[in-house]
Structures are given as C-alpha cells and as structure tokens.
Structure 1
Amino acid sequence: MKIAALQTVATPDVARNLATAERLLADAAAQGVRLAALPEYFCLMGRRDEDKLAIAEDDGAGPIQDFLAAQARRHGLWIIGGTLPIKAATPGRVRNACCAWNPLGERVARYDKIHLFAFDNGGERYDEARVLEAGDTPVAFEAEGWRIGLSVCYDLRFPELYRALMQPPCDLLVVPAAFTHTTGQAHWDLLLRARAVENQCFVLAPAQGGRHENGRRTWGHSQVIDPWGQVLACQDEGEAVVAAEAEPAVRDRVRQQLPALAHRRL
C-alpha cells in the first residue's frame, strides 16, 4: 500500500489551511497513494493557544470534519486528519483529536491525544494543558488488511502507548506532529526510528515544517520509516507529499528474521 505523510506550514487562517490540505490530498491521490495523513494542527496554528476554542467542533460534525470526509470520498482515500479541536466536557477545554476516514467518507476512528506537551528552556515555553483535555484510550483501526495505530506528537516519547497498540500487533503507526524546532532537531528522528524498530512496524510521521505566521518554528522532517528503521522518504521543511510503498513482505521478513515481538516477557 502506498502511504503518504503530508507536510504543511499551517497559518492562523482555517480557510487557507484547508485549501493547502485539499491541494496536498489531490497531489497524493494523483501519485497513487491509498492512505494519506495530515500533521497535527493542520487546520490551525493560532496566535494564542486559546484560538483552538473558537474553532472547536462537536464530535462527528463540523466544517473541518465535513471537509475531511468529503476529501476522502472525492479521492477514494483513507485519510488520517492530523488533529483538530473537538469540544471537551470540561468548559474552556478541547480534545486534540486525530480522526480517520475511509474512502467512502465514513469516520472509522477517533483518538484523543493522551500526553500533553510542556516545555520551558527559559526562552521557549509551552503548556498544552492550559487549553487541552487529555485523552485516556489507545486507538487502532483496520484499513485494507492493515492494523493502524494512532498517536500524536508528544506521545512519541512514551513507548508504553505503542506497546499497548501492539496487542494485537499493528502494521503501521501514525504520528501526526508539530514538534518544535528545538525538540525536533534533538529527538524527532531518533524517537521515530526507535518506535519503528522496537515494534517492527512501518511508521508514518506527517509534521508541521517551517516558520509559521505566529512566530513559531516547527521541525518538519515528515517521513516514512520501515520496520527495520530505514527512512524510505523524508522532507525537511515546506509543504510536501512524502510518499513511499509500505510492503507487507518487508514487515513479515523483519518479524521472521528477528522475532522480537514473540520474545517479549513484560
């Protein structure tokens, strides 16, 4: 199955961001991609954290969700819609939700980001818990014979989430992200390849990549990684469709030659 990580440099304007996503999804479909994933916050990179509240949607209905469903139908694609804000039960909070649609435009999965990012090096400060409400449940779904596990950005630092997704084993792990330039430069590639190797899975990592209008700079380096930890395709910065073939035979060969998943004891 040909899969693609779509890289964007999102703005504070939802309409512009959706137009970018539409263009990249069409490009992916034209390349023969069957499953395409957008990055975290593909729909909005606001000037303030609270900007997410203004565009938050009800679960299952809203302009952004309707857009993604329509794009899936139009192109006959499996689409993993990066993340979008979905209203939480707690007032003044939203869930950072990663949803998936099948080629008929039907939503088949929703995962709410479990681990909320916080960082303070004296110059950069982030605290997602100011606006976000954390999820609590790992989510995987089936697509064309593939078991696909969902995660988001900061989740990448918590291997126990991916071990939970491996019961039963996934074939593909998806990590939409908006890693900062600082943390991404240090750890993004390292962590992605580790998750691929330890779980003997393909990894699809669509990221925000570039300097945003709100002044933030994201690391990018959207990529596709095979179960041996080899990077099959990567784009450093800027808008891009990062596509590669995910071959079941590669997964099977790695798991047969080095049956680490069968050797687990904990």
Structure 2
Amino acid sequence: MAAPSLSVAALQMPPGHEDLALNRRMLEEAITQAVKAGAQLVALPELALMPYFCAAPAGKYRHWAESVQGESSVWCAELAQRLGCAILLPLYEHDSQNDCYHNTVIGFDRQGKKLCNGALARKLHLPVNDYPPPGFDEAAHFTPGNELQTFEIEGWRCAVLICYDRRFPECWRALRQAGVELVIVPVAGSGGDDAAFFLGELRTHAKENGLIVLCANKVGDEWLDGMVTDNYGESCVINADGTILAHRSREQGPGVVNATLDYQQLDQIRKQLRYFDDRRSDLFGPVSHRWVR
C-alpha cells in the first residue's frame, strides 16, 4: 500500500567536470542538502557523473563507463543507506557480458538495497542531431535498451524515462497501463528552442496520462573538447493534472527542486480527468506494455 505522501527532489546540477571524483562529491553534497530538506526520493540529471560527451567521436570516453555493480554503484548504495533516502543514479554503463554500452539509470532504496537488482532503465531511443554543427550522435555511443522496470518507493509505483524517451507518447501510455504513478525523467536538456517547449511537453504527458513527473536537468554552459552544451535547467515536479508543483529555471541556477506528493490527490485527479479510462481502445487498440516489467 502506498504511503499517503512522498517527498521528492530533483537536483538541478551545475555543469559536469572531466574529474569524475569531483562530480561525485558535488552530487553527494547536493543529495545531502535535499535529504536535509526532507526528500525521501532524489533524482539526478542524465549522465550526472560526467559531462555530456555525445558530440565526441565514438568510443573516446569509454574509460568513463562502468558496470551496474561498479564504483559509482557502491558509492550510491552507501550514500542511500547513510542518508536514509532512495536515490536514482544515471550511469554510463558498460555491459561486459554483451560487450556493449548503455545510457542507464540504477537505483537504491533507503536501506541502500539496489532496486530491481540491476538497471531500472536503459535509454530506449537514441537521438542523432547534426544541426547545428557539430551536433551529437548518441547511437554512436550507446546500444538502446528494450525494456523498462517498474519499482516501488514507499509503496508508490515508479518508472524512469531517460531524456529523449519522453518524446514518445507510447512510453507514457504504456507506463500508465502498467500501473505506474510517478515517472522520473533525468535529462541532459540543452538548446534554446527546446527549452521553450520543455515544461509544456511534460505537463501535457502528465495530464493526458494521469502521471506525476519528477524531472532533473543540469543548468549552465558545460564545456568538453572545446565545445559547449547549453543546459537550460527547468527541473520540475509536475502533478497528474499538469500543475507545476515545483520548478527551477535556468536563471535560478543550480539547486534542489522539491515537493511533497499526495496519494489521495492523485486518486482524485484520476477520477476527475478520465482521459485514460475514456480512450476508445476498441478503435485503435491498446498500447503494448509487454516491454514494461
């Protein structure tokens, strides 16, 4: 049974460094701050442990990759247990068994136990964008995942959509069909045009599907190989009716975005906004959620 309320936090982090140990220390300080403010679940931006590197030649930064049981996993498990909060950690994963690399999220509960004993999500859709130059090519760096795991935090049914996966309405509908209540969206969001639509897109997905959204992004100019990634922030918590519960803009810089979720309110919203129940699946068929575990 879900707890009546759940306190969540998204960390809007500053640009990452090539010194991964420094990034980890910065994350630990921010997570500690979020927990002191009452967070029971903390979400981090996509590839939070390093700069976004997908404009670089394929393979250049593979020395940053690690397994889901690696050093960062051990660090995060110990931190979750010490602070008594659940943490979702984005990871550049090396799957040595299949000799491939993934854009991944793993997670730990407040006892430091790994959620689902492995990856909660491996990014399903890998964007390629060559304009404006130099662009980026995630397909050159990662192998796409083929499934998502659902998991519980204090009885709330959760799932993760990594950055570009949020663009696809089928993902949201499949998660709702699988019984999900809270969707965590770690992003590496950059570019002025995208920023203008970012919140509206998330609010629409939340309202159309009766899902709560917890989204974390970096903020500020991140430099790597002489190129800059303009992270626009906009980390947020969005209720199931599309209402913004908490938000942090680019101008506000790094910080903790926190809110308390109300389970009774979620139930009321779903009863009031009947989009999911009223859809004519007899006309267009159900969205498959066989890939959601």
TM bucket (normalised to shorter chain) is over 0.9
Q: Which amino acid aligns with 1:254?
A: I
- The answer to whether residue 202 in structure 2 is matched with residue 192 in structure 1 is yes
Match of 1:235 among 224, 248, 261: 248
Aligned residue runs from structure 1 range 82-231, under 5 A: 83-88=90-95, 91=99, 93-109=100-116, 110=119, 111-214=121-224, 215-231=228-244
Deviation (angstroms), 1:138: 2.2
Is 138-147 or 126-135 further displaced after alignment?
A: 138-147
**5+ residue gaps in structure 1?**
none
The partner residue of 1:4 within 6, 9, 27 is 9
Q: In 2, distance between residues paired with 1:186 and 1:12?
A: 29
Q: Paired residue for 2:288?
A: none
Structure 1 CA distance for aligned equivalents of residues 51 and 192 of structure 2:
17
Deviation at 1:18, TM superposition (A): 0.4
SS of corresponding position for 2:115: strand
| Count of residues paired in the alignment | 263
Secondary structure of the corresponding residue to residue 185 of structure 1: helix
Matched, 1:33 2:20: no
Any idea what the Cα deviations from partners look like across 1:75-103, whole Å, max 9, x if unmatched? 1101111x211113565x41111111101
**Structure 2: which 5+ runs fail to align?**
1-5, 282-293
Distance in 1 (CA, whole Å) between partners of 2:61 and 2:78 is 22
Alignment partner of 1:137: what SS?
coil
- CA radius of gyration, larger in: 2
Letter in structure 2 aligned against 1:3: V
CA offsets, 1:120-139, max 9 Å, x none?
Answer: 32335111011111001022
Query: C-alpha separation between the residues in 1 aligned to 2:51 and 2:102?
Result: 15
TM-score by length of 2: 0.85
Q: Which runs of 4+ in 1 moved over 4 A?
A: none
CA deviation string 1:57-78 (max 9, x = no partner) = 123x211111111111011101
Please, which of 21, 28, 31 is the counterpart of residue 22 of structure 1?
Answer: 28
Name the SS for the 1:216 alignment partner.
Answer: strand
Whole-angstrom distance in 1 between the partners of 2:113 and 2:202: 29
Taking structure 1 as the reference length, the TM-score comes to 0.93
CA distance in 2, matches of 1:5, 1:106: 20
